[in-house]
Amino acid sequence: MARVEYGRHKRVAVTADDSSSDVRPQRDWNGDAHDQVGFLGFDGAATTLASDAFVPTGTIHVITSESSTSDNLATITNTNSQENDWLILFSATGHAITVKHGTGNIVLLGAADKLLSATVASIYFRRSTNWYEFGGGTVGDGDITNTKLADMAANTVKVRDANSTGSASDKVIADTQLLIGDGTGFTAAALSGDVTMANTGATTIAANAVDGTHIAMGSDAQGDVLYYDGTNYVRLAPGTSGFFLKTLGASANPVWAAIVTPAHTTQDWTVQGSAPSNPGSGVAVMYTKTIDSNNEGLFIKMKKNGGIVEVQVG
């Protein structure tokens, strides 16, 4: 491939030993027309860092750490360069070279430190005394922020809506809807049936939706009784046959209890010759008295219609 002038080359040899002739457009050293098709190529210079800096001597540099296998690159020394120069940088294989953003005179696209790659070029362009990254390199973790993504439609989430690998898409989620996976993608749907949900996350169970088939207390058995123990609803296992459910008051749990049959008692009444004195308000008096020579009766004296009456009850 013919030698061509490029960059800031000011002279080109037109004979084998001529070092003083000016460059002539579209000509090479022996007067032939320049080849307009070809590669622009440079040898890469192996360069070792010194105090987190290096002095470029050409367009391509392969950077090696100053010691060990990891180092920082914070400054590109401008001794041999001018404004608008380009640099293409790689790390040496096996070396972790971290390019520092804003520590020296290097400004990176992601505004954050990045590792040089041994295979993917990082390209820099000099403006004034700073070197600005403008292409090449790799995208580091966290480099792509939400603001750098394409705008999404309102009320959408980004998903892979298929059961295969591929591109993501934006799924619309309407008011009160949930995103439900079905193995082949996602469905946006609202809760329905016995349970509904508001857009605050609050759920509502429909009236009469919970029947016995929806209740399981654990160790459930026929004859169980459900009651509240002050903290939760719990089961009371069946009691002995013939027992009754006994409450122990507002602050206690119910229990099964045996029925107690009261003892039979009798009351003796002394026969009186005449009725006793009238009882006071709110009191009744029961007594026996002789009716005639053949009969005695059981009477009650009580207040009725504002007065005291005597009523025979036996």
User: Could you read off the pLDDT of 250-273 as tens digits, one per residue?
Assistant: 989 999 999 888 777 777 777 777
- CA angle, corner 221, sides to 217 and 224, nearest 5? 75
**Non-local CB neighbours of 302 within 8 Å, separated by 6+ positions:** 279, 284, 285, 308, 309, 311
pLDDT surpassing 70 at residue 144: yes
Two tokens at 283?
A: 């009191």
pLDDT surpassing 50 at residue 6: no
Tokens 């080849």 — which residue?
Answer: 35
CB 131 within 8 A of CB 124: yes
pLDDT surpassing 90 at residue 10: no
Which range is least confidently modeled, 88-97, 117-126, 261-270?
Answer: 261-270
- On average, the pLDDT of the chain sits at 84
> Can you list the domains of the chain with their CATH numbers?
44-136 (2.60.120), 152-190 (no CATH), 225-264 (no CATH), 271-312 (no CATH)
Percent of the chain with pLDDT over 90: 54
Which range is least confidently modeled, 40-54, 183-197, 275-289?
Answer: 275-289
User: pTM of the entire structure?
Assistant: 0.42
- C-alpha closest to that of 253 among 292, 272, 275, 226: 226
Tokens 């002050």 — which residue?
Answer: 230
Q: How far is CA 304 from CA 137, 197, 287, in A?
A: 110, 65, 18
Which range is least confidently modeled, 23-27, 134-138, 174-178?
Answer: 23-27
Handedness of CA 201, 207, 213, 215 (dihedral sign): positive
Percent of the chain with pLDDT over 70: 85
pLDDT surpassing 80 at residue 84: yes
- As a whole number of angstroms, the distance between CA 125 and CA 84 comes to 6
**Non-local CB neighbours of 94 within 8 Å, separated by 6+ positions:** 69, 118
The predicted model gives 85-94 an average pLDDT of: 95
CB 98 within 8 A of CB 115: yes
Determine whether 73 is exposed, middle or buried from the number of CB atoms within 10 Å of its CB (0-12, 13-18, 19+): buried
